[in-house]
Amino acid sequence: MSGNRKPWRLSLPSHMKLLIAFLLIFSPLAVTHVAEASGAETTLNSKLLGQFLQKHCFRCHGAQEQNGSARFDTLDYAISNKVEALHYQDVLDVLNGGDMPPEDEPQPSNAELEVVIGELTEGLFKARKRLASNGGKVVMRRLNRREYAATIRHLFGFEPPRQRVPPDDDVVNFDTVGSRQFFTTAHFDEYYGLAQEVLREGFKWAGVREAVQIRVEQPENFWNRSFRNNLKSWKGQTGKVVRLSKMREKYLARPMVKSGVYLDEPLRHLSFGPAVDPRGSYRIRVTAGVEGEVAPFRRFIKLNIGQDVLAILHIDGTPEDPTESVVEIPRPALLGRRLGGRVSEDRTGAWLSHYLNFLERTGEIKKGGAKSQGLIWIDSFSVEGPFYPEGRSFFDALLCPAEPSSEQRSTIVWSDANARELIERFTWEAFRRRDPAPEYIDELASYFQKQRDKGKAFQAAMVDTLAVVMASPGFLYLNEEAISDSDSRMLAPREIAIRVACFLTSGPPDEQLYRAVESGAMSNRDAFHREVDRLLEGPKSRRFAAALARQWADFTRLDGISVSDKKYPAYTSGLRHSMKQEVIAFFHTLIEQNLSVSNLIKSDFATVNAQLAVHYGIPGVTTNEFKPVTLPADSPRGGYLTQGAFLVAGSNGERTSPAVRGMLLMSRFLNSPPAPPPPNVPELGSDVDGPTTNRKLVELHQTRAQCASCHRKMDTIGLALENFDLLGRHREVEMVWRDKVPVLISGSMPGGKPFNSLSEFQATMLEHDEDLARNMVESLLVYAMGRDIEFTDELHIKSIMTQLRPDGFRMKDMIHAVASSPLFLQN
């Protein structure tokens, strides 16, 4: 703090401030001293703000008068504590709301206001971040949803349904940030109840090994017969059934009803629901073909499990020569339920006829085309399984050590006599191999005995006892021991292993990682990196890529965009699923092949399935998997910027939103997130008369100073992507009412460099690849550490950047650099 500066003081209760909206007071008689100071000060541009305040505010809030008890002529334009930040926030709020200067006073020009609001907004945004600092300490946290599920999978071999796990609170950037978690009475009850269910399921499957079974469905047996029966029973009736009968007659007159079903009215979808072992994976096989001519994007069927899309299958064949597609269901997340799924055409609209009509109306298929469109025909589908993973789960092997077979169930070897040992061994593993206090185990054992004395069965009593363990802090919290050596602050090897495992696998360490801890390998640099590589290998790395990608790319925003199916019938739930999978596969490729992070701006490959290839207009892709394919040199695709998930998220569901796209670009690609929208700025509304181009709409946004201060930057770069429509399809023209207006790409970066096409824009963005790399390093750090970046991390982040720069910021190197950074290994 500067020497001659007086602290802010309040003479009225601070809560009065907003009551009169403007109550900054600076009285020497004030009593409240501001003691908190984090040592970090954010300075505002004193010249700029000073001039403005002098011109517009001093007369009423200066040395002579202090209207509303606010005085500005003695400010020092520095924010060093939360109360000061609040005071500047009040000034900003008043300017944003247009409440000051009063109407009868001379008004500042728009340009003046824009600069001042911009400076205050950015300054406060920075100051808040600094003030939130707690010295780089990782705050202990409980397992988030993802980690809880993975921990259950580690212990029991199956996962609870996601929505059953208590949700993560207030995820701002990553779900690992502990300081944003809370624990309430409801959490305790939910965790305890869920643990009981999980344990019952665990007992149910202990020692069981099922033989692989194939269940083949010939859907025509049920459906086509029931349609025939409908016709019989409705014969001679009048009213609604006449229409329904006609529909069935038409359906049954199709050529291939003897051997299959058509996904046409009256049939919407096929259901399947075999009882399954949730520890195994299953294979679903669908044999289908397309009858007649269809638009290329209609060659896809969707496989659902509950509400979740499991896969999108491309149907190449015909009813005469059908396509057989195979999909693997990796261990279904179920608790005591059947595996319920659906097979349907991937489309919108309640009925196929609605969908086709919408397609015709929006020009997705040609006029009159709805009548001539063909149909998808399903011959059969089958469910095969269970296929068990290698090795049995911890709980299964603990309860029934002998290896089971499909003929011989293995039995539980525990009884009342050795119950204490069972409790102890379970607790040790559940507590991530930390020794529980003997007293705790004693009390658990006597609780178990009490339940038995009351007449509860062994299993029921054990479920209730072990559920206590799974509702205890030793299980729910990633608790790390306080570090006694204040110099090194280095974590113990076991705790490093847990952090690494949570970072890369979302769950507890596996057997091999625990062994590495015991053998002392965690402190050997090479061995440590080998472990990181091992955890990133194979199918597990895809899970990591998914967890990172869905948060970095903010799928929650994408899911929140509601697109009208009347206006955009092509935006199916399957297409949205494919768009997300593309991002995950893209991240996976970057990690697996150790590619530069700059591929997110522009890449010469895309990770698309057949559906997206059709959507994007990439020729020659027929697979259902998302694998990297090389793009033609003149393709506008390549890079996250050109992916559907990004482009749809950058819309408001009715048209593209250059503001949102620009905001996302600034946050991720320029690592300079704009401040969140201020309250009380009036809606723009539709000031415009009649339809207009997106560019015109955006320019309107900038006529108001309160908006322009942030939007000028965001909107300009967001407009660079106008060659992609709301759904991410490439376009040269924009529809304005019924006119086609050419899309104009022209703008400049915040900093000045102009661009006049998408590729020029990408080239400019590539010059900023340091910003993107830094954003990815910071993202990985937040994700891995479970805390926000603080200004004290600067040195370590710089050293990571220096380490990665020579090779162009490769993704796998980046993960290694983060995992071995002192930021991650210390506390």
Partner 1 sequence: MSTIVTDPVSRRSLLRQGAYCLAMPFLDSIARAAPAASVPKRMIFLGGGYGFTDAYHEKGNSFFPSETGRFSSIGLSSGMKLLERHQEDLTMVSNLTNPGVGNPHGGSEGYLNCGSYREHEAAISCDQLAARTIGKDTRFTSLVLTAREPIPGQGAGHGSGYSLSADDRGRSLPGIPSPLQLYRTLFAQKGDSPEQLLERLDNRQSILDLVRIDSSTVRRTLAHEDAVKLDEYFTSIREIETSLKREEQWATRPKMEPPFEEPGAGLTGEKEIRLMLDMLVLALQTDMTRIASYRLPVCSLITSLGINLSPHTLSHYGSSPSARAASETRDRKLMELFAWFLDRLKETKDKDGRRLYDSCIVSYGSNLRAGHGLQSLPALLSGGGTERIKHGRHIILPKENTSLANYWLTLLQQAGIETPQFHYSTDAVTELLS
Q: Which of residues 133-192 bind partner 1 (CB under 8 A)?
A: 134, 137, 139-141, 167, 169-171, 178, 182-189, 192
In the complex, the smallest distance separating the C-beta of residue 666 from partner 1, rounded to whole angstroms, is: 19
Task: Determine, following the binding rule CB under 8 A, whether residue 560 of this chain makes contact with partner 1.
Answer: yes
Give the residue with the Cβ less far from partner 1, 296 or 560: 560
Give the residue with the Cβ less far from partner 1, 520 or 682: 682
Give the residue with the Cβ less far from partner 1, 319 or 718: 718
Could you say which residues in the range 408-447 bind partner 1, by CB under 8 A?
Answer: 436-437, 439-440, 443-444, 447
In the complex, the smallest distance separating the C-beta of residue 199 from partner 1, rounded to whole angstroms, is: 14
Rounded CA gap, 570 and 574, in Å? Answer: 10
Task: Determine, following the binding rule CB under 8 A, whether residue 17 of this chain makes contact with partner 1.
Answer: yes
Please tell me the count of residues contacting partner 1 according to CB under 8 A: 76
In the complex, the smallest distance separating the C-beta of residue 259 from partner 1, rounded to whole angstroms, is: 37
Single residue of 416, 559, 767, 807 touching partner 1 by CB under 8 A: 559
Pick the piece of the chain touching partner 1 (CB under 8 A) from 335-343, 615-623, 674-682, 716-724: 674-682
Q: Show Cβ contacts of residue 451 under 8 Å, excluding neighbours closer than 6 positions.
A: 460, 461, 464, 465
Closest residue by Cα to residue 594 from 819, 778, 809: 809
- Residue 796 tokens read as 């370590």
Give the residue with the Cβ less far from partner 1, 637 or 711: 711
In the complex, the smallest distance separating the C-beta of residue 684 from partner 1, rounded to whole angstroms, is: 6
In the complex, the smallest distance separating the C-beta of residue 683 from partner 1, rounded to whole angstroms, is: 4
In the complex, the smallest distance separating the C-beta of residue 409 from partner 1, rounded to whole angstroms, is: 32
The DSSP call for residue 666 is: I
Q: Show Cβ contacts of residue 287 under 8 Å, excluding neighbours closer than 6 positions.
A: 322, 323, 324, 325, 378, 379, 380, 381
In the complex, the smallest distance separating the C-beta of residue 392 from partner 1, rounded to whole angstroms, is: 27
Assess contact for 487 and 827: CB atoms under 8 A: no
How many separate helices (H) and strands (E) can be counted in the chain?
30, 17
Pick the piece of the chain touching partner 1 (CB under 8 A) from 464-472, 507-515, 632-640, 727-735: 464-472
Give the residue with the Cβ less far from partner 1, 144 or 323: 144
Could you say which residues in the range 191-210 bind partner 1, by CB under 8 A?
Answer: 192
Task: Determine, following the binding rule CB under 8 A, whether residue 453 of this chain makes contact with partner 1.
Answer: no
Rounded CA gap, 783 and 144, in Å? Answer: 12
Single residue of 68, 653, 673, 750 touching partner 1 by CB under 8 A: 653
- CA 594 from centre of chain: 23
Give the residue with the Cβ less far from partner 1, 17 or 796: 17
Give the residue with the Cβ less far from partner 1, 175 or 220: 175
Could you say which residues in the range 60-119 bind partner 1, by CB under 8 A?
Answer: 82, 86, 89, 93, 97
The residue type of 307 is: Q
User: To which residue do tokens 């340009």 refer?
Assistant: 111
Pick the piece of the chain touching partner 1 (CB under 8 A) from 268-276, 399-407, 470-478, 741-749: 470-478
Query: How far is the first Cα of the chain from the last one, in angstroms, to the nearest whole number?
Result: 29
> Which 3 state secondary structure label does DSSP give 83?
helix
For helices 758-767 and 769-785, give the axis angle rounded to 10 degrees: 60
Assess contact for 136 and 746: CB atoms under 8 A: no
Give the residue with the Cβ less far from partner 1, 35 or 633: 35
The residue type of 366 is: K
Assess contact for 340 and 305: CB atoms under 8 A: yes
Pick the piece of the chain touching partner 1 (CB under 8 A) from 515-523, 539-547, 556-564, 637-645: 556-564
The residue type of 579 is: M
What is 277-343 written as a DSSP string? -TTSEEEEEEEEEEES---GGG-EEEEEETTEEEEEEE--S-SSS-EEEEEEE-S---SS----EEE
Single residue of 51, 362, 562, 759 touching partner 1 by CB under 8 A: 562
In the complex, the smallest distance separating the C-beta of residue 681 from partner 1, rounded to whole angstroms, is: 6
Decide: residue 265, CB within 10 A, 0-12 exposed, 13-18 middle, 19+ buried.
middle
In the complex, the smallest distance separating the C-beta of residue 296 from partner 1, rounded to whole angstroms, is: 26
Give the residue with the Cβ less far from partner 1, 221 or 686: 686
Task: Determine, following the binding rule CB under 8 A, whether residue 569 of this chain makes contact with partner 1.
Answer: no
Give the residue with the Cβ less far from partner 1, 390 or 683: 683
Give the residue with the Cβ less far from partner 1, 356 or 563: 563
10 Å Cβ neighbour count for 123? 22
User: To which residue do tokens 């500067």 refer?
Assistant: 2
Quick one: the chain helix, strand, coil %, rounded to 5?
45, 10, 40
Give the residue with the Cβ less far from partner 1, 598 or 657: 657
Task: Determine, following the binding rule CB under 8 A, whether residue 678 of this chain makes contact with partner 1.
Answer: yes
Give the residue with the Cβ less far from partner 1, 192 or 297: 192
Give the residue with the Cβ less far from partner 1, 264 or 554: 554
Single residue of 21, 216, 326, 413 touching partner 1 by CB under 8 A: 21
Pick the piece of the chain touching partner 1 (CB under 8 A) from 40-48, 524-532, 611-619, 650-658: 650-658
Single residue of 397, 629, 681, 763 touching partner 1 by CB under 8 A: 681
Largest Cα–Cα distance in the chain?
A: 99
Give the residue with the Cβ less far from partner 1, 139 or 457: 139
Residues comprising the chain, all counted? 827
Dihedral-angle region of residue 657 (phi above 0 means left; psi in -120 to 50 means alpha; beta otherwise):
beta
Could you say which residues in the range 474-533 bind partner 1, by CB under 8 A?
Answer: 474, 476-477, 479-483
In the complex, the smallest distance separating the C-beta of residue 651 from partner 1, rounded to whole angstroms, is: 10
Closest residue by Cα to residue 543 from 141, 147, 144, 142: 147
Rounded CA gap, 39 and 827, in Å? Answer: 20
Could you say which residues in the range 684-743 bind partner 1, by CB under 8 A?
Answer: 684-687
Assess contact for 803 and 774: CB atoms under 8 A: no
- Residue 543 tokens read as 């899970």
Assess contact for 653 and 707: CB atoms under 8 A: no
